[in-house]
Amino acid sequence: MSSLAATLAVAALLAAGCGRSGSGETEESRGDGNPTKAAEAAPGGDFGDLKGVCGPGDAKSASAQGVTADTIKVGVFSDVGFTKKSEYGDTAKVFTSWCNAAGGINGRKLVATVRDSKLLEVRQRMIESCKEDFAIAGGGSAMDGLGTKERLSCLLPEFPAQTSMVQNNGSDLQVSQTGGSEYNRYAGYYNWLLKEAYPKSADAIGIISGDSPVSKVLGAQAEEGLKAAGGTIAYSDLYPASGVSDWTPYAQAIKSKKVRALVFYGDFTSLTKLEQVLTGMKYKLDWIDANSNAYGSAFLKLGGTALDYQNNLADLNGVHPLESASENPATQQLVDVFEKYAPDTEITLPGVRGFGAWLLFAKAAKSCGDDLTRTCVYEAARKESAWTAGGLLAPVNLTDAGIPVDCFNVEKATSKGWEPADFKPDKGAYRCDVEQYKYTGDYGKPLTLADVGKSMDDVK
């Protein structure tokens, strides 16, 4: 990568782009929090349909690095120093506060340390995490692949909220809730768009991606996935990762090529600027894939009334929508827990995934009892064949890193808020009849323990 500018689109797209801008994440939290009066009574350790995921116990041993009889030290990766978005640190504070109030993990208190990778310092933070943490959970960095070799070399398990780079996405010692990286995670979404909802758009699809290594891979995968679903790419372009001062040429190209649908891989601020130009030209697309990083209040504020003219959609990949929290007990409990321990914090989609990753880590760690080791916590998490994070997510099979997701759910942006699109759900809030598609293109492969001269026999 030749310059910092070449990473800007990656950061905006992948480094938790829709979080609250605040004073930044805390360096370390024991999860004591400052709960409101409504939360002063210690809550139980149940979350959604997960029973006793946190609670007291009689742990006595220092069974691994980062584990004592009293505490478990966990790293939380974040690009907060670059993005100023504190959602992963906020989520860590909320989860550890809730879990520790219930008694911790078999009596051990969770201690979360935010590892601020500042976009380009992933390797440095990973080296620090390798020396101190038992595991990594509930976070993500846009350039996460820069630290994967170090993580595997020090045998550090990871339970990420979000992954991005090929080297890290589906790498060894990682248990991710987002499905196998070799499969198109948007196969169901694309089939619905092109074969059911907007079939006339299939012959005139446009793709615009930020000119950066990660965005270009995503754009190439989108092109392959759209073609597999019966689509034809009529227009494909890159925009400078440092930004565009005038989106008119892009809008004119879209109009001249009679593009009817657009997939956009870049920061949603740029997308809203493009849409404002298109709307000013009175050119309306059948649909725009704003992608899930646009799902939040910031995109709505930036898009304004253009959102009522253009049809912006986002596939949440099986995360229950936040605006429908009252319809789902687990999501409503998440809202309530945030209100208790971080009342001024906006919950974001990466934050929901982060909370789910913490739940996965906590349940697995609890099952290990006093003998909490990295092997035990990793293998316990891998036994989850229908993981829902207590009901926050559609079921995901975690028994193998290569298994694709089965469900999707689509949200539509309007000037009044996000709302479910008419995608014909067949299982609660989700549609789970996905016809899987495995990529045939060469986009690189995730790193393995063997790549660093290690094996599971080395994990203690």
Paired with 158 in beta bridges are 136, 174
**Which amino acid makes up residue 250?**
Y
**Distance (Å, whole) CA 397 – CA 388:** 9
pLDDT of residue 243: 87
pLDDT means over runs of 10, the chain (460 residues): 38 39 42 40 79 96 98 98 96 98 98 97 98 98 96 98 94 95 96 98 96 86 97 97 92 98 94 96 98 94 94 98 97 98 96 98 98 98 98 97 95 96 97 96 96 97
Output the pLDDT for position 346: 94
Q: What is the pLDDT of residue 215?
A: 84
Q: Which CATH class is domain 187-320+403-420?
A: alpha beta
- Given this model, what pLDDT does residue 140 score? 97
- H/E stretch holding 90 reads helix 87-101
Residues of the chain within CATH 3.40.50.2300 domain(s) are 4-181+326-402+445-458, 187-320+403-420
d(Cα 223, Cα 217) in Å, to the nearest integer?
A: 10
CA dist list (Å): 350 to 3, 147, 161, 202? 27, 20, 6, 30
> For residue 216, what pLDDT is reported?
86
At 4 the three-state DSSP class reads helix
Contacts by 60-63 with C-beta closer than 8 Å and gap 24+? 60/370, 61/370, 61/371, 63/370, 63/371, 63/372, 63/373
Measured from the Cβ of residue 139, the count of other Cβ atoms closer than 10 Å reads 34
Q: Which of 346, 351, 327, 321 is nearest to 411 (CA)?
A: 321
* Predicted TM-score (pTM) of this structure: 0.92
Torsion 13-19-24-29 (CA) sign: negative
Is domain 4-181+326-402+445-458 in CATH 3.40.50.2300, yes or no? yes
